Amino acid sequence: MSLDAVLARIDDQLPAATDRLLELLRIPSISTDPAYADQCSDAADWLVADLNSLGIKAEKRETPGHPMVVGHVDGDGPHLLFYGHYDVQPVDPLNLWENDPFDPRVEDTPNGPVIRGRGSSDDKGQLMTFVEACRAWREINGTLPCKITFFFEGEEESGSPSLVPFMQQNADELRADIALICDTGLFQSKTPAIVTMLRGMVTEELTITGPRVDLHSGFFGGLAMNPIRALSGILADLHDETGKVTIPGFYDNIPDLTDQVRDQWEGLDFDWQGFLGSVGLSEPAGEKGRMPLEMIWSRPTAEVNGIWGGYTGDGFKTVLPAQAHAKISFRLVQGQDPLAIRKAFQTFVRDRLPTDCTVEFKEYGASAASVMETADPAFEAARQALSDEWPDEAAYVGCGGSIPIAGHFQSILGMNAMLIGFGKDDDAIHSPNEKYDMESFHKGTRSWARILDALCKG
Amino acid sequence: MSLDAVLARIDDQLPAATDRLLELLRIPSISTDPAYADQCSDAADWLVADLNSLGIKAEKRETPGHPMVVGHVDGDGPHLLFYGHYDVQPVDPLNLWENDPFDPRVEDTPNGPVIRGRGSSDDKGQLMTFVEACRAWREINGTLPCKITFFFEGEEESGSPSLVPFMQQNADELRADIALICDTGLFQSKTPAIVTMLRGMVTEELTITGPRVDLHSGFFGGLAMNPIRALSGILADLHDETGKVTIPGFYDNIPDLTDQVRDQWEGLDFDWQGFLGSVGLSEPAGEKGRMPLEMIWSRPTAEVNGIWGGYTGDGFKTVLPAQAHAKISFRLVQGQDPLAIRKAFQTFVRDRLPTDCTVEFKEYGASAASVMETADPAFEAARQALSDEWPDEAAYVGCGGSIPIAGHFQSILGMNAMLIGFGKDDDAIHSPNEKYDMESFHKGTRSWARILDALCKG
């Protein structure tokens, strides 16, 4: 059977595949720092060359920022698009790294060998799991299993400014039957997972002004409105005693979990005590009566991400400040319209403003939640393929964060997306001493071979 | 009558008195800046020489900080102590001054002549009103009217670090029948006033810690406790909907205004609309049912003077912070024990801490309110003397701020104090282009002559 041969080839070639990844990791493609623009371009060149060596017609495509890499290979069966990003996070603080972040190496650890270096997990190592699966497939079968478009970005760690325009300008070229995205992790570092829902987000800054100038709290205190008091009252009002957000209409149109999803999530045996305990907490602080996984995956939130006003330096100053400020974000779920939530929040604030206070809003980003069409048979095929590779059965999971690319595939290209990745919680992405387990790299590559087989044999 | 002669002498000598004040104003005695230590010492020397010229045995007395000036003159009748301070505020921002702050001058303005320069009002000009009254008295009568101790401080604008130790070490020398303090103003820039109550203050910083580290609000938001939410809830709880502070026991033992004081305050016709309007406010924000003057003079407050937590820079960061902080002050009135209020507040916070949150308190200063013994006949005598000098009848007023010196005279020396001053609201003390109205200087000097006459003839 050809899949077995491909898997055996992956096993055999693991040292060579690791060497290739180390080569890519040596290129310091830090996208957010203009000083590394050439290195970002070098990483794109490296990928173009590597794809070309697989018989894929690939090229570096310029953007106003760092280049995209797009490659195509023809074939029968479904048309897949694979997305990953070749740029990496900055490496500060450098003194906390045990080795040069761009002199990657394989290290033995008590938990097995790891590939250590910036980008090993996020996302060069993950990106290469798919490329290596394709390489092994081709080496065994002479061709790739189906029509595949490769789409690599170089600005993911710096806000992806060129991504949406590029997708819009090249929509016909990029559109495929389904997108595969490898930039996520194993559930609880162990269970292979397909992310089927991502929360959206609305972010907003508000400034409440009371008096025209800062006042002396001796002369005015007791008589003049303090905007920090107004702000505290409004923020305190955002949640009721059961942890629910009190903004009118906030929960309208949010579907409840289906019994099927609820059963699946209950089956995941989420170790929420361990998850919270790792950061010094003991009790879920969300809506009473909801599962902890619901709180982070399928229920919306209102969080104050920053607050400031008055005197915040050393010592004491009895000022009664003119202004108080807060930055607030709402994580959104299926059914919530970001702009409606923004408007409802602004109304909520205005309705609670005391006399003599005014409010100004500064609007930051707004994006809706993404929910994948798991009815697409590709999902069940991929889930089965992952289950065949890993000890645990693969799960459909949510993700409390926002991964905008999945939404872009949906909204710009009308494509469903499967987010499958092999990172672990201790990979230290965005931190010093980033690593990717050799198990993640090896079984990740094998997983993609199995998924390609499952999706393309149909 | 000798008082009339003294007043006439003051009128005659106003130009010479002004020249003496200008000389003192030329000494840049900025106490908070170590670079001006010599100049502080120079100002003390100047005052010693000036007192000596009046036949007063005065000397500069060293402290760990800037020197005190203490002078004594013997006499019959009551023993008065006069307090003022010779140090001044820094002059930044210098570019906002129309002239050199230490090249003082007399300027004509639409509201009459003013003495312009740093310290003209706070407090060199006010201090010299008393000295000039003594000078005129001596020039007419050959002696001062009674036994007087002069006590000038050089650290009032930098927190008076040496004051309490000096008063304790020299208690027997400084103790008198009553203290006269000239560092306050006319009520509404117009009505001569004796301050009979000063609010005290307790200041406190609190830090609420939730998770051990800052968290990503995507991964943890909805599940993990946000300490800003906890802090907002506690701060919002500090006041009820009628503006009352909700800390248990907060209002215990606070006496209500006597009918006499209430009648006096109502008679003051406080223009609270103008007072609030000048800073862009329209409505008293204190306890419902209280007069605006009560809110700032005789009722306690709880004010948040600073708040901070999470990301407060430009842009947005969806952090769920580990900590949130606030600086809180309570203005205290008669009957409130600062340490009991501090303890009640800490209990109030602890009682409202959500699960998984801890609190740490950092205690700053604590001082009780001061209420003068207005039954002392000196008060009515001084009030009548002020009423004789000014068009408006003099009033007993409160002061919402804290002037610790009055409390120190009470607690360390067991002395009653009368705070009488002639500053106006537009004097710009602590600000660029500080001035003292010639009317304040002239009628202030005349006021002290009348007060000396009233207190000493008995």
Question: Do A346 and A438 lie in a common domain?
Answer: no
Whether B391 contacts B241, CB under 8 Å? no
Cα–Cα distance, B346 to B350 (Å, whole number): 6
B2 Cβ partners below 8 Å, 6+ apart? B140, B141, B453
pLDDT score recorded for residue A173 = 97
Per the domain annotation, does B290 fall within a domain? no
Of B343, B367, B391, the residue that ends a domain is: B367
Convert the pLDDT of each residue in B381-402 to its tens digit.
Answer: 999 999 999 999 999 999 998 8
Convert the pLDDT of each residue in B138-152 to its tens digit.
Answer: 999 999 999 999 999
Which of A287, A290, A305, A311 is the best substitution to test chain B (most B C-beta atoms within 10 A)?
A305
Phi, psi of A133 (to 5 degrees): -65, -40
Amino acid at A347: T
Which parts of chain A have pLDDT scores under 70? 1, 458
Question: Do B376 and B342 lie in a common domain?
Answer: no
Q: Which residues of A103-123 are buried (b: 16+ CB within 10 A; e: fewer)?
A: ebebbeeeeebbbbbbbbbbb
Per the domain annotation, does A288 fall within a domain? no
Of A345, A367, A389, the residue that ends a domain is: A367
Question: Do B57 and B153 lie in a common domain?
Answer: yes
Alpha-carbon separation of residue A226 from A315, A324, B238, B240, B402 (angstroms)? 20, 9, 13, 14, 19
Whether B139 contacts B9, CB under 8 Å? yes
Alpha-carbon separation of residue B266 from A289, B245, B357 (angstroms)? 56, 24, 47
pLDDT score recorded for residue B228 = 98
Convert the pLDDT of each residue in B63-89 to its tens digit.
Answer: 999 999 999 999 999 999 999 999 999
| Closest residue on chain A to B398 (Cα) | A219
Convert the pLDDT of each residue in A367-410 to its tens digit.
Answer: 999 999 999 999 999 999 999 999 999 999 999 988 889 999 99
Q: Average pLDDT of B268-278?
A: 94
Per the domain annotation, does A293 fall within a domain? no
- Please report, rounded to a whole number, the percentage of residues in chain B having pLDDT higher than 90: 92
In the three-class reduction of DSSP (H, G, I as helix; E, B as strand; rest coil), residue B4 is classed as: helix
Question: Do B31 and B88 lie in a common domain?
Answer: yes
Convert the pLDDT of each residue in A439-449 to its tens digit.
Answer: 999 999 999 99
Which token pair is B182?
């000239």
Is A239 an 8 Å CB contact of chain B? yes
Contacts of B221 in chain A (CB under 8 A): 296, 301, 303, 329, 331, 400
Decide the pairing of beta strands B79-85 and B147-153. Answer: parallel
CATH number of the domain that residue A72 is part of:
3.40.630.10
Question: Do B118 and B175 lie in a common domain?
Answer: yes
Cα–Cα distance, A76 to A79 (Å, whole number): 8
pLDDT score recorded for residue B458 = 54
Which contiguous run of DSSP H or E holds residue A340?
helix A338-351
- Please report, rounded to a whole number, the percentage of residues in chain B having pLDDT higher than 70: 100
Question: Do A416 and A433 lie in a common domain?
Answer: yes
Question: Do A394 and A323 lie in a common domain?
Answer: no
- What domain count does chain B have? 2
Question: Do B351 and B381 lie in a common domain?
Answer: no
Question: Do B358 and B385 lie in a common domain?
Answer: no
Distance from CA of B409 to the nearest CA of A (A): 21
Whether B445 contacts B139, CB under 8 Å? no
Domain of B59, in residue numbers: 2-198+369-456
Amino acid at A399: C
Per the domain annotation, does B374 fall within a domain? yes
E strands, B132-182, in order = 147-153, 178-181
Per the domain annotation, does A263 fall within a domain? no
E strands, A32-111, in order = 57-61, 68-73, 79-85, 105-109
Whether B60 contacts B166, CB under 8 Å? no
| pLDDT at residue B1 is higher than 60 | no
Distance from CA of B335 to the nearest CA of A (A): 17
User: Residue B69: which of B81, B55, B85, B53 has the closest Cα?
Assistant: B85
| Closest residue on chain B to A214 (Cα) | B279
Per the domain annotation, does A285 fall within a domain? no
pLDDT score recorded for residue B2 = 87
Question: Do A127 and A55 lie in a common domain?
Answer: yes
Contact A331/B217, CB-based, under 8 Å? yes
Question: Do A355 and A374 lie in a common domain?
Answer: no
Cα–Cα distance, A176 to A418 (Å, whole number): 13
Contacts of A327 in chain B (CB under 8 A): 310-312, 316-317
Whether B126 contacts B185, CB under 8 Å? no
DSSP class of B281: -
Alpha-carbon separation of residue A373 from A196, A207, A418 (angstroms)? 8, 40, 9
CATH number of the domain that residue B215 is part of:
3.30.70.360
Residue with tokens 């602890």: B350
Per the domain annotation, does A280 fall within a domain? no
Question: Do A232 and A358 lie in a common domain?
Answer: yes
B 388-447 residues with CB < 8 A to A: 399-402
Of A367, A388, A421, the residue that ends a domain is: A367
Contacts of B232 in chain A (CB under 8 A): 231-232, 235-236, 304, 307
Q: Average pLDDT of B75-104?
A: 95
Cα–Cα distance, B50 to B42 (Å, whole number): 12
B40 pLDDT band, cuts 50/70/90, is: very high
pLDDT score recorded for residue A458 = 54
Amino acid at B59: E
Q: Average pLDDT of B431-457?
A: 96
pLDDT score recorded for residue A452 = 97
| Helices assigned H by DSSP within B333-396 | 338-351, 377-389
Q: Average pLDDT of B218-233?
A: 95
Where does residue B55 fall: left (phi above 0), alpha (psi -120 to 50 degrees), or beta otherwise? left
Distance from CA of B156 to the nearest CA of A (A): 16
Contact A279/B220, CB-based, under 8 Å? yes
Which of A219, A235, A245, A279 is the best substitution to test chain B (most B C-beta atoms within 10 A)?
A279
